[in-house]
Amino acid sequence: MFAEKKELINSLVNLIIKDDRYRREQREEKYWRLIEEAKKDWQEARAYFNTVTEPELVDHAIYALGAAEKRYVYLLKKAREEQSFREKYLR
Overall pTM surpassing 0.85 (yes/no): no
Q: What is the number of structural domains in the chain?
A: 1
In the chain, helix, strand, coil percent, each to 5?
Answer: 95, 0, 5
For 35, residues 6+ apart whose C-beta sits below 8 A from its C-beta are 72, 75, 76, 79
pLDDT per position in the chain (91 positions), as tens? 677 777 767 776 666 777 677 777 788 888 889 999 999 999 999 999 999 999 999 999 999 999 999 999 999 999 888 877 666 665 5
Full domain range(s) for residue 35 = 2-90
